[in-house]
Structure 1
Amino acid sequence: MGYFDYSRESTSDIAFIDMKSFYASVECVARGLHPLKTSLCVMSRAENASGLILSSSPMFKKVFGKSNVSRAYDLPFDVHTRRFSYYNAKRQGLPVTPEFVKYIEAWAKATFIVPPRMDTYIEKNIEIQHIFQNYASIEDILPYSIDEGFIDLTSSLNYFVPDKNISRKEKLETVSANIQRDIWRKTGIYSTVGMSNANPLLAKLALDNEAKKRKTMRSNWSYGDVESKVWAIPRMTDFWGIGRRMEKRLNKLGIFSIKELANFNPDILKKELGIIGVDLFFHANGIDESNVHQPYKAKSRSLGNSQVLPRDYCKQADIELVFKEMAEQVAIRLRKAHKKASNVSIYVGFSKTEHKKHIQAQMKIEPSNSTKQLMDYVLTIFRKKYRSGAVRHISVTYSGLVDDSYGLISLFDDAEKIEKEERLQSAIDGIRDRFGFTMIQKANALQEASRSLERSRLVGGHSAGGLDGLT
């Protein structure tokens, strides 16, 4: 039995709404295709073999067994020829029988592979937000990501379903069904709803663990369902806040299920895991004090940027050029946040043809947000660690953030020169803020290896308007 008297806990009527395969659904609807019956995936960099699958339709997942965040080379067919890939199939342990090859090639030819259009998805998200606002005030809506969000319907249930003989659980079911219907009628997109007459956590768990499997694509979990449903979640990693690393830490404490977590000693959890352990204990018991109206905002401890290069970069000068551009971009974000960094780290991921271990290195520095200084630090770390090899993935991260008012000037520093550089940086930042990042660019932005101009046209790291993809 649990520790809690749920009659003492606060209650809210929450709907957590998720757009089913959002990017893929938007692309299906745009082509007049059924989102649930069409095999389609949205692939970043669809023109090369290492494309990243950002979203895929339910039919695509069913046929090819691939979730989002897979690569083109993980598919059992070549994205260009649509022919069966014996190499990929064997690498994944798939059968290579004539029947299976025929099955895959038939579906591959019928599959749409399209590039992302982030501006289109944002526009569609705004349209869906307007639908939400027909049922709740803006203050009662909390977007969780571009394709999902919470709606607190506590104050509006009685308005839409005034019958006093109907329970709040039934009213929440009715209103949630109406929201689903409106989204589908106005956008053609199907949605899944997790509901709770208790709190946001239980609504999220209901969506992730039950709603997606039901015909109505809706499910309600409240306090009365904690022991029968929350504790029965089969895999610990299916629980909000528990990833593989946390699962291993819990396993070391002898905890192998949500039920065991809910009935474990919270003092030991706090000692071994800190405040996160206490949070997990309460969550496993269905207790959640988060508020849709006052969402928790984590303090940023670092700022960074990463990118997968469009091709293998083999020349050190070309790799350094991209590193310098990224060092500048993150430095601009530092100054906007009025912060300085006291730690610089880089990541270098090699092409899969290299069979080399990635490079990850860092160095402590005097707090700075100077583009020139941070650029020099990034290149220093890179040149110290890199020897050779084709590179495909790089990142730059600044951490150990302090307020930009913090500064140390030694007797060997030229204070006048430092002040002059700061004024120049401030002027450049101001022009870019007003007229766009590309208004002022270094000459090396015109080099073939440069990514600066290309990335300035991206939204969320992907094409804003889309390119001609593979169909």
Structure 2
Amino acid sequence: MKGGRRTVLLADMNAFYASIEQMLCPDLRGKPVIVCGDPARRHGIVLAASYEAKACGVETAMSVSQAKEVCPSARLIPPRMATYVQMSVRIVHLLKEYSPLVEPFSIDEAFVELTGCETLFGDGKTAARTIQRRIHDETGIHCSIGVGPNKLLAKMAAGWEKPRGLTVWTNADVPRKLWPLPVAKLFGVGRRMEHHFHRMGIRTIGDLAHTDPDLLHHRFGVIGRVLFESAHGRDPSPVDPCSLDGSKSIGHQFTLPRDYEREPEIRLVLRELAEEVAGRARKTGYTGKTVSLTLKGTAFDSLHRSLTMPEPSNIGRALFQTAMRLLHRHWNYRPIRLVGITLSNLKPDHGTQLNLFQPIDKERRLADAVDAIRDKYGTRSIFLAQSLSDASVFSDRAGKIGGHHR
């Protein structure tokens, strides 16, 4: 692939969660379907909408109440995350029949490096059409596929035509197709970066492509130069089938069932979060030094602060105590609707450094025992006595995937 032309494909499953529900339940086909959280538990946002619902104006991340206003006839379906994950794994396995280089990008997207496979499956468009047909025939799910000379252009092409689109972009298409798009459409440009670009008079991807790269680097650092290259359709990054193997951080957050204003209530949630994150770190074989606390208020104002511990840990108590220090330093005592803890600065867990003044070895053996009990009998088999109180979110979240029912 060095110096040669590449063929990269991005397969994007259309309205993935809603499409699976329609595939599993024929009565839902052709009807507006909304997969959403539980409004009673403050998880009431749209996770996915069928194209029939989107035609009425329903959008992902819209509140359920708003969605029902614009599409009163929509069927509301609670998510079944385990089913969606199983379908995602099945599709990735299908893609691996066409190349060993398949990189899951999200639960409903995956990159495929087809370079060198042309003699087996034809050019990019021919292979993409075969893959598109097979995914539908074998799973009942429609997808849009973008084909390009790199991951960036394949990703942009996949979003060009939905649903069931198949779009091929080359470097020659960049001025005509990429540059007229709003700068927010460029992969890697979030809402905050869009705001910065607008203040600089950069409205389109073409504007960004014609901005002095030294100015962008001075203003935004490395990311400025990366986005300049992206605006020209250049992306050297490989399709990495191991991209998800190494975790950079392990985190968890709860949307609270009501606004929490009292420290004892928030303290309990932080304790439960710390135990959850620590347990996941142990399960994946990592320990970490940096704890980050995320708080979101009722006006959706966010606070994110981090603190590095003296020694790496994957014990709930250590993470909890660090999170409490961050809470005491930075919380303004206003009501909170979301709480999150993240453990980063990770390294493989090769054992416990003993401490003469703290019972670390005893705590690790206790944590291992709790893990073993939960592995055998389930998450709810053993938990903190405090989690029986009304402020707890443990009982509602235990056994779910991403906060949603399996």
Q: Distance in 2 between matches of 1:121 and 1:331?
A: 26
Q: Does 1:212 align with 2:162?
A: yes
**2:81 aligned residue:** 118
SS of residue paired to 2:202: coil
1:281 maps to which of 219, 224, 228: 228
**2:341 aligned residue:** 396
**1:371 aligned residue:** 316
> Is the CA contact 2:289–2:308 (under 8 Å) kept in the aligned structure 1?
no
1:14 maps to which of 2, 8, 12: 8
Choose 176-185 or 336-345, whichever is displaced more: 336-345
TM (norm. structure 2) is 0.84
Alpha carbons of 1:127 and 1:331: their partners in 2 closer, same or farther (altered >3 Å)? closer
Cα offset for 1:460? 2.5
Cα offset for 1:66? 2.6
> Is the CA contact 1:290–1:296 (under 8 Å) kept in the aligned structure 2?
no
Q: Residue 17 of structure 1 aligns to which amino acid in structure 2?
A: A
Q: Which of structures 1 and 2 has the bigger CA Rg? A: 1
1:29 maps to which of 23, 30, 51: 23
Alpha carbons of 1:250 and 1:298: their partners in 2 closer, same or farther (altered >3 Å)? farther
Q: Distance in 1 between matches of 2:5 and 2:211?
A: 25
> Is the CA contact 1:367–1:406 (under 8 Å) kept in the aligned structure 2?
no
> Is the CA contact 1:116–1:462 (under 8 Å) kept in the aligned structure 2?
yes
Q: Does 1:458 align with 2:400?
A: yes
SS of residue paired to 1:212: coil
Alpha carbons of 1:160 and 1:383: their partners in 2 closer, same or farther (altered >3 Å)? closer
Q: Distance in 1 between matches of 2:330 and 2:214?
A: 44
Q: Does 1:265 align with 2:233?
A: no
Q: Does 1:73 align with 2:65?
A: yes
Q: How does 1:395-434 map to 2 (within 5 A)?
A: 395-399=340-344, 414-415=356-357, 417-429=359-371, 432=374
Q: Residue 372 of structure 1 aligns to which amino acid in structure 2?
A: R
Q: Deviations over 1:127-171 (max 9, x none)?
A: 32343244x13x23222111111122233332234xxxxxx3xxx
2:111 maps to which of 133, 150, 154: 150
Q: Residue 122 of structure 1 aligns to which amino acid in structure 2?
A: V
Q: Distance in 1 between matches of 2:349 and 2:101?
A: 35
**2:152 aligned residue:** 201
Alpha carbons of 1:154 and 1:390: their partners in 2 closer, same or farther (altered >3 Å)? same
Q: Distance in 2 between matches of 1:190 and 1:57?
A: 12
Q: Distance in 2 between matches of 1:17 and 1:435?
A: 38
Cα offset for 1:206? 0.9
SS of residue paired to 2:225: helix
Q: Does 1:341 align with 2:289?
A: yes
Q: Residue 67 of structure 1 aligns to which amino acid in structure 2?
A: E
Choose 275-284 or 438-447, whichever is displaced more: 438-447
SS of residue paired to 1:309: strand
> Is the CA contact 1:53–1:69 (under 8 Å) kept in the aligned structure 2?
yes
Alpha carbons of 1:329 and 1:281: their partners in 2 closer, same or farther (altered >3 Å)? same
**1:290 aligned residue:** 237
Cα offset for 1:32? 0.3
> Is the CA contact 2:294–2:302 (under 8 Å) kept in the aligned structure 1?
no
Cα offset for 1:186? 2.4
Q: Does 1:140 align with 2:133?
A: no
**1:159 aligned residue:** 120
SS of residue paired to 1:194: strand
Alpha carbons of 1:174 and 1:381: their partners in 2 closer, same or farther (altered >3 Å)? closer
Mark the runs of 5 or more structure 2 residues left unpaired by the alignment. none
Question: Whose relative contact order is higher, 1 or 2, with alpha carbons under 8 Å and at least 6 apart?
Answer: 1
Q: Residue 107 of structure 2 aligns to which amino acid in structure 1?
A: I
Cα offset for 1:345? 2.5
Q: How does 1:49-68 map to 2 (within 5 A)?
A: 51-63=44-56, 65-68=57-60
Choose 294-303 or 322-331, whichever is displaced more: 294-303
> Is the CA contact 1:258–1:284 (under 8 Å) kept in the aligned structure 2?
yes
Q: Deviations over 1:350-400 (max 9, x none)?
A: 4xxxx6966666656534524223323434554676687764322223456
Q: Residue 226 of structure 2 aligns to which amino acid in structure 1?
A: D
Q: Distance in 1 between matches of 2:170 and 2:39?
A: 43
> Is the CA contact 1:345–1:398 (under 8 Å) kept in the aligned structure 2?
no
TM (norm. structure 1) is 0.74
Alpha carbons of 1:47 and 1:33: their partners in 2 closer, same or farther (altered >3 Å)? farther
Between the two proteins, the alignment pairs up a number of residues equal to 403
**1:224 aligned residue:** 172
Q: Residue 26 of structure 1 aligns to which amino acid in structure 2?
A: I
Q: Distance in 2 between matches of 1:9 and 1:324?
A: 52
Alpha carbons of 1:443 and 1:34: their partners in 2 closer, same or farther (altered >3 Å)? closer
Q: Distance in 2 between matches of 1:115 and 1:156?
A: 41
CA RMSD, aligned part only? 3.4
Cα offset for 1:253? 4.6
Cα offset for 1:319? 3.5
Alpha carbons of 1:258 and 1:28: their partners in 2 closer, same or farther (altered >3 Å)? same
